[in-house]
Structure 1
Amino acid sequence: MYKHPRQKTEAYTLPPFEASSVGKLRYIPAHNSLKRSAHEDTSGSCVTDDFNDKIKELETVMMGPDSLDLVFDYNDSFDSTSCQETNSWRSTLEAISRRDLRADLVSCAQALSENDLMMAHSMMEKLRQMVSVSGEPIQRLGAYLLEGLVAKLASSGSSIYKSLNRFPEPASTELLSYMHILYEVCPYFKFGYMSANGAIAEAMKEENRVHIIDFQIGTQGSQWVTLIQAFAARPGGPPRIRITGIDDTTSAYARGGGLSIVGNRLAKLAKQFNVPFEFNSVSVSASEVKLKDLGVRAGEALAVNFAFVLHRMPDESVSTKNHRDRLLRMVKSLSPKVVTLVEQESNTNTASFFPRFKETMDYYDAMFESIDVTLPRNHKQRINVEQHCLARDVVNIIACEGADRVERHELLGKWRSRFEMAGFSSYPLSPLVNSTIKSLLRNYSDKYRLEERDGALYLGWMQRDLVASCAWK
């Protein structure tokens, strides 16, 4: 799930591939458009011509030509045995064609995981006719899953993911607008911010000087608006607040400038509510943060916030530096009063390709369904929201490996082990946090659910947990 802008990657398209010989692939440019799903009904739709043009434009630059242009070299090595194998393969395809889109996506990923390139190619050709960026949730998600599969098939997912630039990065103001839409239509980010703020407010209720270190401050520092207001209303007056915001160039791009924009906004708000305030900016990637960057001062009660950021830190499976655990040990050495963790409840870090694909499809299927309830399919910006705020994560998880795969989610059980190994103990969330979030969810679909388990809060869509929040000391 897209949190706020992170690394700036080039926009991607779905490249076709041709086989110069069976089992060998060569990248060829994409030019034409994807066929819209034959099952998609646009009759009686209030979709405007501009919206239809947008769909056609996106599908043209994203999905490539009408077929995968799979050209096999029928040379002397292609004998009767090959023909028999091909007939068997076609029979399998006919059987598969009677299954649904989810099953076809899984079958394609399985063929790819088993290095069955002929089957994977043909499944992709079939899937191109089934997915649509303007269709049902699984059709829309399927378009991006298919894109990731094609890049993975090229055995160079990372280079393709980085190099393709057929659909330009939106202007910073546009990207900020897309993120704001997603923030408003889904409660996931508000849930995370509210639960973390509740834990911080509870831990700091007796403190007069508070220092908050945010390891990935949002594009506008939105999380801290409500906390500053809450501190302003505290009996006995507000504490003196200092916020250290850690950021990278991608977030700076999204908001159209550096951290000074966030600092100025929060300072103006604090002045309005008569809250003593100071902002400290650290313009580096969270994985590169050193103790000297944090500016910890004696006499300040320290809170550390990890909201949707730790899953992007390389761990022991990627680098011997293991920034994920290194950061936790460094933070523990500062003796904070409270540390908040908000993460997606998904398991994609060390999983091999095929189970990782299935997990990604299951997770984002729930996400796309939840968007569908609130944001109409004919909403002009919905495609942009999904493409720029979610699809990049999907493609990265599926197509990339090693250090290039930056979206590496873990389940809360694994995070719990990491925090405990670093010396932390659980900090129970206040019942007030639970009741406040329940009030928030009344503004959304009743398919959202909130559960408290083992001192942590889980926000889910129907039966799928999507975001987990907890606190540590």
Structure 2
Amino acid sequence: MGSPLVIKLMDCAKAIADGDLKFADQLFSDMEALSAAETNRVTKKVVDYFAEALARRVHGVHPRNPFPLLPSSNLKKISYEPSPLEWFACMSTDYAIRDVLNVKKNKLHLIEISSLVDCWQRHSLEEYLLHGHHGMPLSFQYTSIRPKLSKNDDYLQENRRMITEVAQRSPVDFKYRALFADSVPDIVESVLRLERTSEDEIIIVRWVFQLHKLLALEGAVDKVLSKLKDLKPDIMVIVEQEADNNTDDFFYRFASSFKYYLNLFESLELYATNLSSLIWERHLRWQICNVVASEGIDRIERHETLARWQQRLYGARFCSVSLCSDHFADFLYDFSAYKIEENSGFPVLLAAGHPLIFASVWKPANATHSSGGE
């Protein structure tokens, strides 16, 4: 982070933290001049995004749309190549589920609270329904709690049609339910509505880049974890960004976030694909604006480290289930620039030695079923 442009960005953030807006305005002008001379494309892009976020903080202007929108008119034509982050998220759940499916029950209910786009959702469903897993129950219900990615009804109908087509090719009885949650209270309310239909049911809960958002609303995490503990899922998989930006110390949050997002963008640059790259870049750009420019309940991108989430889950009377990193050999073959290391039995995805995201697996401490080692 030693380039003149980055140093000037840090000085600008420090000036804003100290309330010296006149000096900050001068530094904004200096950054514009330095930006043209920056030769590293990723560094220039990330500095631009953080400078935009600083300007939004100063002027109180926040982006309206927190989620990437998909063009509904082109939905049928989309060719989507998942990013390494999505592959890691899906494979983490996949391997955790295999042991659970050995339990002889007739029903499987997969509950996913996710911010991933619909084209990845359909890919994930195809993996479960068409390729199948050993011990797959005869009945499979999929509940998706997610934001709306478009206000266009045609888009929603087309998405449901595509999912129905996948289900019709499957040998199992499939049911699909979508609960739309565009805010933290919406997520909480959707989770509180979940119910177990019978004891002859395997319940799997998967949080994909969403659980951290509950930290914006006081008491939301405790309320949701208490509900899920009562639901008695066989496992709960959590995939989150391994970052440390949930602090009221603005300058620390800014500096820590810049280092994290610079590493993240550099890693994604190696595997950029058209739609996936565009969607992730738009989403991460909004994250940066939210982390830097917003405060209070409006700041929902409150990423924390794996160690902090472990403390919180243990405190809520969940126990951990090991997820061996040896399972990820195929992933590392496809994405050789990444490395996976174990931390307390959980896989952490790294690039150039920097932790980016982690997956962890949990079950209620009072669970009586068998779902893997602790």
**TM-score category of the 2 structures, normalised to the smaller one:** 0.7 to 0.9
Question: Are 2:13 and 1:123 equivalent residues in the alignment?
Answer: no
Q: Does 1:402 align with 2:296?
A: yes
Q: 1:170 to 1:225 in 2, by over 3 A?
A: closer
- Alpha-carbon RMSD across the aligned residues, in angstroms, is 3.1
Displacement of 1:223 in angstroms is 3.0
CA drift of 1:370 comes to: 1.7
2:109 pairs, out of 208, 211, 214, with: 211
CA distance in 1, matches of 2:74, 2:303: 24
Residues 216/99 of structure 1: CA separation in 2 closer, same or farther (3 Å cut): closer
Structure whose residues are more often strand by fraction: 2
- Counterpart CA distance in 2 for 1:367 and 1:104 is 21
Q: Give the aligned partner of residue 464 of structure 1.
A: 354
How much does 1:343 deviate? 0.2
CA deviations on 1:84-125 (whole Å, 9 max, x unpaired) are xxxxxxxxxxxxxx9622222111111111122222111111
1:362 aligned residue: 259
SS, match of residue 177 in structure 2: strand
Name which of 45, 58, 79 aligns with 1:140.
Answer: 45
Is the CA contact 1:134–1:383 (under 8 Å) kept in the aligned structure 2? no
Q: Is residue 240 of structure 1 aligned with residue 139 of structure 2?
A: yes
- Residue from 305, 327, 333 that aligns with 1:442: 333
> What pairs up with 1:98-117 in 2 under 5 angstroms?
100-117=4-21
SS in 2 for 1:161: coil
- The alignment of Structure 1 onto Structure 2 pairs a total of residues equal to 349
Aligned to 1:312: 213
> Which of 331, 353, 356 is the equivalent residue of 2:250?
353
Change over 3 Å in CA distance of 1:134–1:442 after alignment to 2: same
The answer to whether the aligner puts 1:454 opposite 2:351 as a matched pair is no
2:287 to 370, 390, 393: 393
2:124 pairs with 1:223: yes
1:415 maps onto 2:309 in alignment: yes
What is the Cα deviation at residue 410 of structure 1?
Answer: 1.0
- For the Cα contact (< 8 Å) 1:213–1:243, is it kept in 2? yes
Amino acid paired to 1:140: K
Match of 1:271 in 2: 168
Identify which of 310, 331, 343 aligns with 2:240.
Answer: 343
Q: Distance in 1 between matches of 2:288 and 2:75?
A: 20
User: What SS does the corresponding residue of 2:19 show, helix, strand or coil?
Assistant: coil
**Change over 3 Å in CA distance of 1:385–1:338 after alignment to 2:** closer
Change (3 A) 1:281 1:123: same
After superposition, the Cα gap between the structure-2 partners of 1:340 and 1:370, relative to the gap in structure 1 and judged at 3 Å, is same
Q: For residue 328 of structure 1, what is the amino acid of its counterpart?
A: L
SS at match of 2:243: coil
Contact kept in structure 2, 1:172 and 1:253, CA below 8 Å: no
Give 1:127 deviation, angstroms.
Answer: 0.9
* TM-score when normalising by structure 2: 0.83
Q: Secondary structure at the match of 2:239?
A: strand
Change over 3 Å in CA distance of 1:196–1:449 after alignment to 2 = same
> Residue 60 of structure 1 aligns with which residue?
none
Aligned-pair CA distance for 1:391? 0.9
5 Å-filtered alignment, 1:57-96, equals: none
Shift of 1:333: 0.8
Q: Distance in 2 between matches of 1:127 and 1:175?
A: 38
Structure 1 distance, partners of 2:72, 2:201, is 36
Cα distance change, pair 382–131 in 1 and its aligned pair in 2 (3 A) = farther
Amino acid at match of 2:342: E
Work out the CA distance in 2 between the residues paired with 1:105 and 1:149: 9
- Cα pair 1:175 1:388 within 8 Å, conserved: no
Contact 2:109/2:142 (8 A) holds in 1: yes
**Corresponding residue SS for 1:361:** helix
Give the Cα separation in 1 of the matches to 2:126 and 2:10.
43
- Mapped to 2, the partners of 1:345 and 1:201 lie a distance apart of 25
Instruction: Say which SS state the counterpart of residue 29 (structure 2) adopts.
Output: helix
Q: Which whole-Å deviations, capped at 9, do the CAs of 1:339-364 have from their partners, x for residues lacking one?
A: 01000001112242111111111111
Q: Is the 8 A contact 1:172 1:256 kept in 2?
A: no
Shift in alpha-carbon separation, 1:163–1:310, aligned structure 2, 3 A: closer
Q: How far 1:262 moved relative to its partner?
A: 4.8
**SS of match in other structure, 2:128:** helix
Distance in 1 (CA, whole Å) between partners of 2:173 and 2:29 is 61
For structure 2, the residue ranges without an aligned partner over 5 or more in a row are 364-374
288 and 210 in structure 1: CA distance in 2 versus 1, 3 angstrom threshold: same
TM-score by length of 1: 0.67
Note the residue ranges of structure 1 that are not aligned, 5 or more in a row.
1-97
Q: Larger Cα Rg: Structure 1 or Structure 2?
A: 1
Instruction: Report the Cα offset of residue 325 of structure 1.
Output: 2.2
Change (3 A) 1:373 1:202: same
**Residue 225 of structure 2 is aligned with which of 328, 332, 352?**
328
C-alpha distance in structure 2 between counterparts of 1:180 and 1:418, whole Å: 39
| Alignment partners' CA distance in 1, 2:189 and 2:245 | 23
Give me the whole-angstrom Cα distance separating, in 1, the residues matched to 2:173 and 2:280: 39
Shift of 1:462: 0.9
- Partner SS, residue 414 of structure 1: helix
CA distance in 1, matches of 2:73, 2:252: 35
